[in-house]
Structure 1
Amino acid sequence: MHDLLEGGSIRNKTRSSKTYIFKMFRFRKINQRIISYDYSYLDSKNRPLRLDNNSNRIGQKAAQAWCLIRHLPIIIGDLIVTSDAKKFWELILLLLEILNIVFCRNFSEAILFKLDSLIITHHSKFKELFPENRLIPKHHFMCHYSYVIRQTGPLISLWTMRFEGKHNYFVQLANHTKNFRNISYTLSIRHQQYAAVMSKNIVLNELKVENILSIKLCQFSNPFDAIELLRKVNGFEKCDEETEICTTNQIWFNNYNYKHNYIVCFGHDPVFPKFGVIVEFLITDEKTCYLLLNKLEVQYFDRHYFSYRGKLKHDGMSYVM
């Protein structure tokens, strides 16, 4: 968090994006795109703030910086067309590749060797574009990431973001209680009460559903695909258009929220991941819900926009649990 989201990432975005790329366009236009961009429901809580033209810093919190750097290629990627802009844009793309690996939970030796290579290339590119600026200690810490991962496992399992989030709970609690006579005792008692309630309600692999409706399969937008898929499920081998099934508009599974029109990854091909758009929810019992997906055909990975380019397939649907 401190090395990348509040260190190297902020430093690079400040110097390359604001000092060079952003000055090629009207700063007001860039801010307008950042503010009006649709960050979706999942990133809406961490949407970045307006950039300050008079400051040498981005001025975002760690979660906001992580949100901004991930969405930045789509926000302003179409504006990066000149050769001068692309030189500095390459630095941001290298940083995104490093972040994608660092935030992973599974690693191989090949991935760790690639991480070392990307960090070396990133730092060399930084010195080439900004010869008057020295690399800061947080850049040096990045060089040891692969060694730390080999010794302790994924960095995301031990990063300080979780500790900062825990500390934020006590800060807010102290402000709300307005009791400073024995504040440590008050915080410990309130925290133990909160932890007891939360631990009682935690259930692994829990499916939560609201607003359940019971409708006939013929009322779905594509009933034939739903019938074909349901016949593969135990208890629904003889279902038809008049069969009733429970459905809803959103579910929570393992504290992840799924809604209609969300794009989910449900597998991997030899080259690209498999993506699909959620069309319907099929609830077969209290613990099982199937997602009826409209498959997306991945054409290629567009590095300039740092995203996959795909289109809807017309050969039917698929489902995942």
Structure 2
Amino acid sequence: MHDLLEGVVPYEIKLVFKKLISLGCFNLETVNNRISAFDFGYLESKNKPSPIKLDGTGNRIGQKAAQAWCLIRFLPMILGDLIVDEVHLKYWDLILQLLECMSFIFFRSFNESSILTLKSLIIKHHSLFKFLFPDQNLLPKHHFMCHYPFIIKMSGPLISLWTMRFEGKHNYFAQLAHNNRNFKNICFSLAMRHQQYSSHVFKNLDFHHGIKTDKICKATMSEFDDSFDIVESLKNYLNDHDICIKTEMMTTNQIWFNGYNYKHNFVVCFEMGTIFPKFGIISEFLIQNDNSCLLILKVLETEFFYRHLFAYKVRVTENLYRVINVKDLVTHDAMEIKQNCNLSGLFVISRHFL
């Protein structure tokens, strides 16, 4: 969080934007207008970036850590159609290479090959930085990145060690102290309120370690869109040929699994293909008797990875569905379909390497 989201990311965005503005690629007003108009969706609604500031001293651009993470992941989708000139692309490639490094740094599962890949990407990124900006110094936080492959090899994925969770926990106490407005023996007050909160959490452990649902209701298969195709997919998955369009199932509008929220029209990765990951749009939820949940996914065909937008280009298939247990997803991060205002096609942006 401190090395990248509050260090390298704003520093390099500021340098690249100042250079591209001086080259006439776009102006800051255009960038901020596009950020303001872009649909970040439900999943990133709390992390929507603020207008970028380039006139301040230092390396800050007016973003918090979560906003900086959201901003750099969606910047290629927001501005990609404006960057077509060869000179502009040379500088824009620094942002793309940083994104490549981050897609591995925020990865949750490593092997020897991916660690070596990350090491190579960091070297390549730092070399490009010095080539493009010879008069600018690499930050100490750039140097810390060079140690990441070794730390990952010794201690595991950095996403399990980073300080963002500490900051989130600390924010709970900061807000509580502000709302309490009584600082007499504040430590006792915070400890008491935290114990009450912990008691509530432990009483509802299913919210964290199992599946929690919205209101559950009964529905016949005929009530679903494309019910015939869904029935056939369900027959194959459950190996139950008695299922028909008159069969009643328990369904809901949204679920929470191990703290991850899933809603209709969210995109999930259900399988790793031979070349690209396979995505599907959540069409329906089916609640089983053992409190497990099946996702009915409308399959998306992954055409290719569009590096310039740093996103997977996908296409909605006709009447092709897939059934999968929510526990069996490749990654439990949900995504949403995004579009560029001038480029045609549908795109899926992942938080990390798949």
Tell me if TM exceeds 0.5.
Answer: yes
Q: What is the CA distance between 1:278 and its match in structure 2?
A: 1.4
C-alpha distance in 2, partners of 1:291/1:231? 14
Question: Is 1:240 aligned to residue 266 of structure 2?
Answer: no
Question: Is 1:267 aligned to residue 268 of structure 2?
Answer: no
Q: Are 1:21 and 1:85, in contact at CA under 8 Å, matched by a contact in 2? A: no
C-alpha distance in 2, partners of 1:231/1:33? 46
Q: What is the CA distance between 1:161 and its match in structure 2?
A: 0.7
Q: Are 1:297 and 1:310, in contact at CA under 8 Å, matched by a contact in 2? A: yes
What is the number of residues matched between the two proteins?
321
What TM-score, normalized by structure 1, do the two folds share? 0.94
C-alpha distance in 1, partners of 2:264/2:137? 48
Alignment correspondent of 1:229 = 233
C-alpha distance in 2, partners of 1:125/1:194? 49
CA distance change for structure 1 residues 233 and 122 in 2, over 3 Å: closer, same or farther? closer
Q: Structure 1, unaligned stretches of length 5 or more? A: none
Q: Are 2:294 and 2:324, in contact at CA under 8 Å, matched by a contact in 1? A: yes
Of 297, 302, 306, the match for 2:306: 302
Of 172, 176, 183, the match for 2:186: 183
Tell me the secondary structure at the aligned position of residue 78 of structure 2. Answer: helix
C-alpha distance in 2, partners of 1:230/1:151? 43
C-alpha distance in 1, partners of 2:320/2:237? 18
Q: What is the CA distance between 1:235 and its match in structure 2?
A: 9.4
Alignment correspondent of 2:33 = 32
Question: Is 1:106 aligned to residue 106 of structure 2?
Answer: no
Alignment correspondent of 1:148 = 151
CA distance change for structure 1 residues 269 and 124 in 2, over 3 Å: closer, same or farther? same
Residues 8-87 of structure 1: matches in 2 within 5 Å? 8-21=8-21, 24-55=25-56, 57-87=60-90
CA distance change for structure 1 residues 234 and 123 in 2, over 3 Å: closer, same or farther? closer
C-alpha distance in 2, partners of 1:51/1:70? 15
Q: Deviations over 1:2-23 (max 9, x none)?
A: 1000011111011112442585
Q: Are 1:21 and 1:88, in contact at CA under 8 Å, matched by a contact in 2? A: no
Alignment correspondent of 1:163 = 166
More divergent stretch after superposition (243-252 vs 165-174): 243-252
C-alpha distance in 1, partners of 2:185/2:319? 66
More divergent stretch after superposition (266-275 vs 224-233): 224-233
Q: Tell me which stretches of 4 or more aligned residues in structure 1 moved more than 3 Å.
A: 232-237
Tell me the secondary structure at the aligned position of residue 44 of structure 2. Answer: helix
Q: What is the CA distance between 1:132 and its match in structure 2?
A: 1.1
Q: What is the CA distance between 1:123 and its match in structure 2?
A: 1.0
CA distance change for structure 1 residues 51 and 233 in 2, over 3 Å: closer, same or farther? closer
Of 165, 172, 175, the match for 2:175: 172
Q: Deviations over 1:285-310 (max 9, x none)?
A: 36122211111111111111111112
Alignment correspondent of 1:292 = 296
Q: Deviations over 1:222-244 (max 9, x none)?
A: 11122223334669541222222
AA at the equivalent of 1:92: I
Q: Are 2:212 and 2:255, in contact at CA under 8 Å, matched by a contact in 1? A: yes
AA at the equivalent of 1:157: S
CA distance change for structure 1 residues 193 and 315 in 2, over 3 Å: closer, same or farther? closer
In angstroms, what is the RMSD of aligned CA positions?
1.8
Alignment correspondent of 1:212 = 216
C-alpha distance in 2, partners of 1:244/1:78? 48
Q: Are 2:265 and 2:283, in contact at CA under 8 Å, matched by a contact in 1? A: yes
